[in-house]
């Protein structure tokens, strides 16, 4: 619909205007480090992950080092990230496959990335966008899921279906950093428990603002 397309483009324009440097808060130096950091970030804050990874990458600087890591020791190294047993298993498994099947380099396609243990579309999208500057989809994390529903981009609850709706609605040239734009806005303004609609620059374009704050659209 022409009107909806115009609304979405205006939302993206405003998000870029207010946060022109939007990018992942995870700290990394190469595609493998953003892969590791993204796996660790599941059900964990980026801030905590950023406290873990400097020492982790000194100890395990390359995929081959993770591939031959002692699992119990790696679990201790990442314990504070939560779900450390599953994450250690994923890190070792993904690293072994990178070494054995991809020549020690993180693959740069969605099809290849999702074959790595512990890597689904969300993680793959972040690795592609942040690590390679490529977009084959849109990463749907908890912030993107929440804002997609509040902004009326999707009525779905399943991340895969939300991504499908976003890919149909959002111009392809905006896929690369769309996740980062929504994540930053979700953290700063459109928070889960108490959205700050009165001060939100998207309030006139957001169908949920009048639900949270009746009469707000008249301001």
Q: Which domain holds residue 49?
A: 31-132
Confidence class for position 2, pLDDT limits 50, 70, 90: low
Distance (Å, whole) CA 96 – CA 81: 21
Give the pair of three-digit tokens for residue 157: 């609850």
CA distance 106 to 193: 37
Phi/psi at 182 (nearest 5 deg)? -70, -40
Q: So what's the pLDDT on residue 213?
A: 80
pLDDT band at 210 (very low <50, low <70, confident <90, very high): confident
Q: Does the predicted model carry a pTM greater than 0.85? A: yes
Q: Is 83 exposed, middle or buried (0-12, 13-18, 19+ CB in 10 A)?
A: middle
The answer to whether residues 66 and 96 belong to one domain is yes
Q: Are residues 48 and 122 in the same domain?
A: yes
Q: Which residue among 77, 87, 97, 141 is the active-site one? A: 141
Whether 97 and 62 map to the same domain: the answer is: yes
8 Å CB contact between 39 and 123: yes
Q: Are residues 159 and 121 in the same domain?
A: no
109 and 191 together in one domain = no
Instruction: Establish whether 141 is a catalytic residue.
Output: yes
Two structure tokens written together for 112: 């290849």
Least confident of 14-28, 38-52, 68-82, 201-215: 201-215
Condensed to tens digits (0 to 9), the pLDDT of residues 129-186 reads 999 999 999 999 999 999 999 999 999 999 999 999 999 999 999 999 999 999 999 9
Per annotation, catalytic residue among 122, 174, 177, 184: 122
In the block, tokens 């939302």 appear at 11
CA angle 32, 35, 39 (to 5 degrees): 145
The answer to whether 194 is a known catalytic residue is no
Q: How many CB atoms lie within 10 A of CB 105?
A: 12
Q: Which of 105, 132, 159 is the last residue of a domain?
A: 132
CATH number for the domain including 87?
A: 1.10.340.30
Closest Cα partner for 90 from 38, 142, 151?
38
Q: Can you state the angle between helices 142-150 and 175-188, rounded to 10 degrees? A: 90
Compare 19 and 76 and report the one with higher pLDDT: 76
Residue 32 and residue 35: Cα distance in Å, rounded?
Answer: 5
Mean pLDDT of 194-207: 93
């Amino acid at each position: 619909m022409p009107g909806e397309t115009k609304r979405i483009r205006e939302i993206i324009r405003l998000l870029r205007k207010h946060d022109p440097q939007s990018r992942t808060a995870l700290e990394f130096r190469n595609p493998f480090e953003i892969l590791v950091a993204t796996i660790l970030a599941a059900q964990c804050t980026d801030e905590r992950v950023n406290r873990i990874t400097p020492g982790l990458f000194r100890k395990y600087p390359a995929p081959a080092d993770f591939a031959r890591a002692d699992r119990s020791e790696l679990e201790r190294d990442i314990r504070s990230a939560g779900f450390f047993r599953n994450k250690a298993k994923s890190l070792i498994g993904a690293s072994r496959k990178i070494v054995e099947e991809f020549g020690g380099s993180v693959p740069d396609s969605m099809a290849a990335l999702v074959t790595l243990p512990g890597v689904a579309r969300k993680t793959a999208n972040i690795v592609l966008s942040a690590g390679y500057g490529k977009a084959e989809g849109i990463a749907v994390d908890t912030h993107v899921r929440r804002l997609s529903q509040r902004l009326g981009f999707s009525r779905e609850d399943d991340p895969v279906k939300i991504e499908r709706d976003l890919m149909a609605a959002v111009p392809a040239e905006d896929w690369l950093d769309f996740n980062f734009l929504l994540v930053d806005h979700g953290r700063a303004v459109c928070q889960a428990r108490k959205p700050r609609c009165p001060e939100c620059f998207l309030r006139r374009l957001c169908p949920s603002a009048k639900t949270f704050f009746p009469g707000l659209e008249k301001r």
